[in-house]
């Protein structure tokens, strides 16, 4: 029997993976071939999706992008023996795009069958949880502190310190909440992990439960991620059957409903409680008064998924990656106008230029790249002169930029940066929870002022108005929605002033 | 033939009414079964959860996902976020409005397609992306869009 891997990942499906799986099933039946199709996660080489891997005696061999119509020819060419073909890429682990990465959080994604507990265990899964059950709560929290793990949702807050606060809080009920809202454009790492290695998230959340004394967890998943919803549902069921979930720790998936601000942790908690996603004033911190007023850990998908490694391999192994205060690895997500876009997990400290050129392969349109937005819709636009900045939290902060959740969206030289700045305000106006005036009203005013500049009305004066507006939003907003919308706007004006003219 | 009976609004509400934070799960279930959240449903939810109608309405209207009107046979969402913008999503949306002879946020005259905006589908390595009901499609240029629309009944 030959095992063939065809991803069940959303992007692979969006390019026809389901049709390829069906075609292979039919063709192998017709040819009397003994083939087992495994639906894996994606390796994150999306320009090659649907990417089909064949298990051979000398390792896994990859083919892609495969269309359903290619299947017959591939079988005839000897795909099941790993034979050469114009779609063949040789041994997958040796493909330079993958081999040059440090896959820690994504070590299993694309490799294993995401819905096989045996496969997960065979690749080190549940070793962290097993170890955690032998340690006391304080030791667990100490271990997470020592790893230097910082939240992956964007704010980069030290995870161990957050857990300590929840551990120290006295309450009858505590909660573990996973932020799987992944609203930033250009990001998909949470989705890939949930679809490709869901037990890692489940294990991380169960360890968090032990560490702080919480027996109930919720995964707040954005509504747009229906495939992840299905995979998580299956994985939770399997984990429950195997005894990893149950009375000691239960887990439920709850769907968001298309609101970006509900990715902000307190708005998320309001939403989980069945309310409008209004941001809460802090204090009290969610760690003290969180879901239904109880002490709550809120962490991003990748934060939780990093925890099993920290426990199983020890905090020192995790801390060994990275630079300065940015420890570990960060999965970057290449998006927008790039030729070979996908998931690139690297230790902190790599250069943006290397992501764009070495991994991204330059623009897909073939035109020169001009502007890159890093860290989602609230992240700054960087011009080419800044592409050699090391990718770490502090170096980006110095530029008035953010790494955020690691999204990298590239634009070629046809981009109109005034339109991008206008969009930042428009998005803020659309998604603002409405609590603060500078965010709610300022964003609408921002759109109007930019339109005036485009119409050629008093450019210099309106640029000053825009600058004041940005200052007011930064100073007078409760959360980063209003407080960071000025980042893309200011960077666009500063680095691309030639676009802020009449057209 | 085994014809499955469509559940009533009350039955759908009943399924989740007991869970903590039940309102969003109920709204999702209702939209899944009926395609939208009717005025009648708002009244019944308010009653079941001991909330005022205004409170329920406030929640429904806060979230982009929930519809107060019946959609067309298919819901087509075009991504408007930055990654797709960089690959021509603004032009794709204009093309879609023209091809379907409708505006974003509205339903085509024949009741076939409701066109909606969406802010990111997590498919950003293959922009532009669209979603038809629950299925996501990547690398959607105008020709592929037309093909996809033709494949809908
Ligand atoms: C407007 C806004 C949107 C956010 N969206 C997300 C999101 O989609 N996913 C996420 O993990 N964090 C998001 N955050 C950050 C969360 O508020 C919070 O910092 C995070 O869930 C904490 O988890 P971490 O420490 O593991 O990163 C957002 C913040 C703001 C202000
Ligand atoms: S900044 Fe905007 S989104 Fe954040 S709390 Fe204020 S109004 Fe709400």
DSSP letter for A261, please: G
Query: Does residue A127 lie in a domain region?
Result: yes
Nearest alpha carbon, ligand 2 atom 1 = A482
Measured in degrees and rounded to the nearest 5, phi and psi for residue A277 equal: -80, 65
* Res B70 pLDDT > 70: yes
Tens of pLDDT along B20-33?
999 999 999 999 99
Query: Does residue A84 lie in a domain region?
Result: yes
Last residue of a domain, one of A303, A319, A335: A319
CA–CA separation, B132 and A492 (whole Å): 34
Structure tokens that stand for A488 in this block: 């893309």
Nearest alpha carbon, ligand 2 atom 4 = A479
Mark whether A403 and A487 lie in a shared domain.
no
Per the CB < 8 A criterion, the answer to whether A36 and A3 are in contact is yes
Give CA A288 to chain center in angstroms: 27
Tens of pLDDT along A39-86?
999 999 999 999 999 999 999 999 999 999 999 999 999 999 999 999
Per the CB < 8 A criterion, the answer to whether B23 and B49 are in contact is yes
Residues of B in CB contact (< 8 Å) with A are: 20-25, 27-28, 49, 58-59, 62-66, 81-87, 118-127, 129, 131, 134-139
Does the beta-carbon distance from B136 to A14 stay under 8 Å? yes
The total number of residues written for chain A in this structure: 503
Which CATH number does the domain housing residue A332 bear? 3.10.20.600
Last residue of a domain, one of A353, A388, A412: A412
Q: Are strands A2-5 and A35-38 parallel, antiparallel or unpaired?
A: parallel
Per the CB < 8 A criterion, the answer to whether A370 and A412 are in contact is yes
Positive or negative CA dihedral for A384, A387, A393, A399?
Answer: negative
Task: Give Cβ neighbours of residue A447 (< 8 Å, ≥ 6 apart).
Answer: A422, A425, A426, A429
CA–CA separation, A323 and A150 (whole Å): 13
Mark whether A284 and A255 lie in a shared domain.
yes
Tens of pLDDT along B102-118?
999 999 999 999 999 99
Query: Does residue A89 lie in a domain region?
Result: yes
Which CATH number does the domain housing residue A91 bear? 3.40.30.10
Cβ count near A168 (within 10 Å) = 13
Mark whether A80 and A91 lie in a shared domain.
yes
Mark whether A181 and A65 lie in a shared domain.
no
Beta bridge partners of A342: A45
Query: Does residue A107 lie in a domain region?
Result: no
Mark whether A78 and A217 lie in a shared domain.
no
Q: Are strands A216-221 and A175-180 parallel, antiparallel or unpaired?
A: parallel
Q: What is the pLDDT of residue A328?
A: 76
Q: Is the CB of A436 under 6 A from ligand 2?
A: yes
Mark whether A138 and A156 lie in a shared domain.
yes
The total number of residues written for chain B in this structure: 153
Q: What is the pLDDT of residue A36?
A: 98
**A363–B contact, CB cutoff 8 A:** no
Question: Cis ω on the peptide bond leading into residue B135 (within 30° of 0)?
Answer: no
Residues of B in contact with A11 (CB under 8 A): 123, 125-126, 136, 138
Query: Does residue A45 lie in a domain region?
Result: yes
CA–CA separation, A272 and A278 (whole Å): 11
Q: Which of A7, A13, A14, A408 has the highest number of chain B CBs within 10 A, making it the mutation to test binding with B?
A: A14
Q: Is the CB of A221 under 6 A from ligand 1?
A: no
Tens of pLDDT along A343-377?
999 988 899 999 999 999 999 999 999 999 999 99
Question: Cis ω on the peptide bond leading into residue B128 (within 30° of 0)?
Answer: yes
pLDDT beneath 70: ranges in chain A: 322-327
Structure tokens that stand for A220 in this block: 């707040």
CA–CA separation, A262 and A183 (whole Å): 9
Q: What is the pLDDT of residue A156?
A: 85
Mark whether A421 and A489 lie in a shared domain.
yes
Task: Give Cβ neighbours of residue A118 (< 8 Å, ≥ 6 apart).
Answer: none
The vertex-B26 CA angle with B24 and B32, nearest 5°, equals: 105
Spacing, Cα A261 to ligand 2 middle (Å):
8
Mark whether A190 and A300 lie in a shared domain.
yes
Which CATH number does the domain housing residue A482 bear? 1.20.1440.230
Last residue of a domain, one of A412, A430, A448: A412
Mark whether A306 and A181 lie in a shared domain.
yes
Mark whether A171 and A242 lie in a shared domain.
yes
Spacing, Cα A16 to ligand 1 middle (Å):
32
Nearest to A165 by CA among A306, A284, A248: A284
Per the CB < 8 A criterion, the answer to whether A155 and A265 are in contact is no
Query: Does residue A104 lie in a domain region?
Result: no
Does the beta-carbon distance from A336 to B82 stay under 8 Å? yes
Measured in degrees and rounded to the nearest 5, phi and psi for residue A406 equal: 90, 15
3-state secondary structure of B46: helix
SS3 helix, strand, coil % of chain B, rounded to 5? Answer: 45, 10, 40
Task: Give Cβ neighbours of residue A385 (< 8 Å, ≥ 6 apart).
Answer: A495
Strand ranges inside A9-128, DSSP E? 35-38, 52-56, 59-63, 88-91
Mark whether A350 and A384 lie in a shared domain.
yes
Q: Is the CB of A480 under 6 A from ligand 2?
A: no
Mark whether A295 and A266 lie in a shared domain.
yes
CA–CA separation, A170 and A182 (whole Å): 31
Measured in degrees and rounded to the nearest 5, phi and psi for residue A278 equal: -90, 135
Q: What is the pLDDT of residue A320?
A: 77
Query: Does residue A108 lie in a domain region?
Result: no
Range of the domain at A32: 2-99
CA–CA separation, A436 and B51 (whole Å): 26
Q: Which residue has the tokens 């500078």?
A: A438
The closest CB to that of B125, out of A11, A259, A292, belongs to: A11
Cβ count near A346 (within 10 Å) = 23
- pTM of the predicted model as reported, rounded to 2 decimal places: 0.97
Q: A residues 233-272 near B, CB within 8 Å?
A: 254-260, 271-272
The count of domains in chain A is 4
* Confidence category of residue B1, pLDDT binned at 50, 70, 90: very low
The closest CB to that of B62, out of A223, A276, A423, belongs to: A276
Structure tokens that stand for A304 in this block: 């939780």
Query: Does residue A105 lie in a domain region?
Result: no
Q: What is the pLDDT of residue A318?
A: 79
The closest CB to that of A335, out of B59, B65, B83, belongs to: B83
């Amino acid at each position: 029997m030959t095992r063939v891997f065809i991803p069940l990942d959303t992007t692979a499906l969006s390019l026809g993976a389901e049709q390829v799986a069906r075609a292979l099933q039919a063709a192998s039946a017709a040819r009397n071939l003994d083939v087992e199709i495994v639906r894996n996660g994606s390796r994150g080489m999306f320009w090659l999706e649907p990417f089909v891997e064949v298990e051979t005696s000398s390792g896994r061999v990859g083919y892609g992008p495969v269309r359903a119509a290619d299947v017959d020819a591939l079988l005839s060419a000897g795909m099941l023996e790993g034979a050469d073909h114009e779609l063949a890429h040789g041994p997958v682990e040796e493909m330079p795009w993958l081999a040059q990465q440090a896959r820690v959080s994504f070590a299993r994604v694309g490799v294993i069958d995401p819905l096989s507990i045996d496969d997960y265990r065979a690749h080190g899964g549940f070793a962290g949880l097993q170890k955690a059950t032998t340690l006391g709560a304080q030791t667990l929290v100490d271990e997470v502190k020592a790893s230097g793990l910082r939240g992956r949702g964007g704010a980069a807050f030290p995870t161990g310190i957050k857990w300590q606060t929840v551990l120290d809080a006295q309450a009858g009920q505590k909660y573990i909440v996973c932020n799987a809202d992944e609203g930033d454009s250009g990001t998909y790492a949470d989705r890939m992990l949930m679809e490709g290695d869901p037990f890692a998230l489940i294990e991380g959340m169960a360890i968090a439960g032990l560490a702080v004394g919480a027996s109930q967890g919720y995964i707040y998943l954005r509504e747009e991620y229906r495939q992840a919803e299905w995979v998580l549902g299956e994985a939770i069921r399997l984990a429950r059957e195997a005894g990893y979930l149950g009375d000691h720790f239960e887990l439920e998936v709850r769907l968001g409903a298309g609101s970006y601000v509900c990715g902000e942790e307190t708005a998320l908690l309001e939403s989980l409680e069945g309310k409008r996603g209004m941001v809460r004033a802090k204090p009290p911190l969610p760690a003290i008064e969180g879901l239904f007023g109880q002490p709550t850990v809120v962490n991003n998908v990748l934060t939780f998924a990093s925890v099993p490694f920290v426990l199983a391999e020890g905090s020192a192994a995790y801390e060994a990656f990275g630079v300065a205060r940015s420890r570990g690895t960060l999965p970057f997500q290449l998006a927008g106008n790039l030729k070979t876009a996908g998931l690139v997990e690297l230790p902190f400290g790599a250069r943006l230029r290397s992501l764009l050129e070495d991994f991204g392969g330059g623009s897909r349109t073939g035109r020169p790249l001009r502007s890159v937005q890093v860290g989602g819709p609230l992240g700054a636009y960087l011009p080419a002169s800044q592409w050699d900045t090391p990718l770490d939290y502090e170096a980006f902060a110095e530029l008035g930029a953010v790494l955020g959740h690691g999204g990298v969206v590239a634009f070629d030289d046809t981009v109109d940066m005034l339109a991008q700045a206008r969009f930042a305000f428009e998005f803020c106006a659309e998604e603002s929870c409405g609590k603060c005036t500078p965010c709610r009203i300022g964003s609408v005013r921002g759109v109007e002022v930019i339109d005036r500049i485009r119409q050629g009305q008093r450019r210099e004066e309106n640029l000053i108005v825009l600058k004041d507006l940005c200052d007011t939003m930064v100073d007078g907003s409760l959360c980063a929605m209003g407080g960071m919308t000025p980042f893309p706007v200011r960077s666009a004006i500063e680095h691309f002033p030639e676009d802020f003219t009449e057209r | 033939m085994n014809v499955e009976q469509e559940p009533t609004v009350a039955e759908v509400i009943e399924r989740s009414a007991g869970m903590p934070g039940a309102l969003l799960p109920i709204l999702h279930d209702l939209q899944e079964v009926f395609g939208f959240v009717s005025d009648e449903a708002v009244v019944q939810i308010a009653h079941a959860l001991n909330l005022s109608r205004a409170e329920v309405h406030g929640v429904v209207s806060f979230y982009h996902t929930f519809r107060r009107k019946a959609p067309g046979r298919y819901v087509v969402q075009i991504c408007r976020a930055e990654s797709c913008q960089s690959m021509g999503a603004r032009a794709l949306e204009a093309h879609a409005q023209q091809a379907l002879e409708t505006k974003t946020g509205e339903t085509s005259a024949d009741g076939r397609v409701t066109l909606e905006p969406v802010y990111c589908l997590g498919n950003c390595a293959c922009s532009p992306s669209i979603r038809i009901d629950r299925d996501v499609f990547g690398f959607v240029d105008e020709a592929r869009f037309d093909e996809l629309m033709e494949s809908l009944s």
